[in-house]
Amino acid sequence: MSANRFAEFLVARRAELRPADVGLPDIGRRRTPGLRREEVAVRAGVSADYLARLEQGRDTNPSLAVVDALADALLLDEAQRQHFGLLAMTAGHEGRCGSHEPTTTVPESVAAVLRALEPTPAFVRGRALQVLAHNDAWADLVAPLGLLDPPIDLGQWVFRHRSARAVLVNRAAVAESLAAELYQARMRWPNDTGVNEAVAALRAVPEFTRCWQPSLAAHTAPSPMRVRHPVHGPLTLAVERLETRQDQAVVVWLPDRALAREPGLRLLRGERASGE
């Protein structure tokens, strides 16, 4: 696999498409899944040899016209096209970007935001999905879920902690969302040791490897959390993420308005669930 993300995306997206997706007859068995390189090249109006050089990372300077033609050939939607274009612009230059060290100390101004959000659960997340700080409401909510067990890390919890399998009703969707966020982080900060170590550690988990889909990584809207809470019962939490200047994000878990009257959600208003 090529070292550059643009090439990685090309190969992964070509493997996802089927002949029927682009109006071709699906005749006979294929040695590898997806479209053949020659089929994509014809659709994009480029040579198969040139496409091979792009996929192998031997050519890292495609023109805008070629990028647009490939996006059309690969049936990319608008979000994927934007992601694809960004990858094309940075192809071959990953080693020169994102080299500054991550900030793991949460500024007092951001800590104040966490306190102000009480009693709504909120935390600060680092580049590699690690939890750097949180408010009391979030701690109260997640302690029974095992999320406060060290290391306090969303990726490790979702993919490796046994309690995540028991309490996350939509764990597969949350897992895909987090894998996409990690892919984006690796693209944005390719030299970040923490991000690379997090990815390497999770690659030992087969489920994470299945979720590691570069061509889908443009869809980074966080998945809602549907939790079977051992104390508060069924909860549906929308996830809002606010980026900060310190390469961190304030993440807020908001209750589904349709369920706002459920007893289990009273803790989000600073009350204990009474079961009434």
| Poorest-pLDDT segment among 93-97, 152-156, 198-202, 257-261 | 257-261
Predicted confidence at residue 189, as pLDDT, reads 80
Confidence of residue 273 (pLDDT cuts 50, 70, 90): very low
Query: Is 276 inside any structural domain?
Result: no
Mean pLDDT comparison of 87-91, 92-96, 219-223, highest-scoring range = 87-91
Assess whether 186 and 233 both reside in one domain.
yes
**87 and 61 housed in the same domain:** yes
**pLDDT for residue 136:** 96
Average pLDDT score, the chain: 83
pLDDT at 214: 62
pLDDT at 113: 93
Whether residues 86 and 201 fall in one domain? no
* Same domain as 139, residue 79: no
264 and 235 within one domain: yes
For residues 39 and 118, state if they share a domain.
no
102 part of a folded domain? no
Tell me which residue of 53, 253, 71, 270 sits closest to 154, measured CA to CA: 253
Number of separate helices (H) and strands (E) present in the chain: 12, 5
When mean pLDDT is compared over 43-52, 248-257, 260-269, the highest value belongs to 43-52
**246, 110 contact by CB (below 8 A):** yes
Residues 83 and 114 in one domain: no
Q: Select from 196, 227, 183 the least CA-distant residue to 86.
A: 183
Range among 101-110, 156-165, 213-222 rated most confident: 156-165
Structural domain span for residue 211: 108-269
The rounded distance, in Å, linking the Cα atoms of 141 and 159 is 19
**Per-residue pLDDT at 169:** 96
Q: Is residue 274 part of a domain?
A: no
| Contact between residue 151 and residue 129 where contact means Cβ atoms under 8 Å apart | no
Q: Is position 91 within any domain? A: yes
What is the per-residue pLDDT for 77?
86
Q: Which range is least confidently modeled, 93-97, 199-203, 224-228, 250-254?
A: 93-97
The structure's pTM equals: 0.67
Is 148 in the same domain as 255? yes
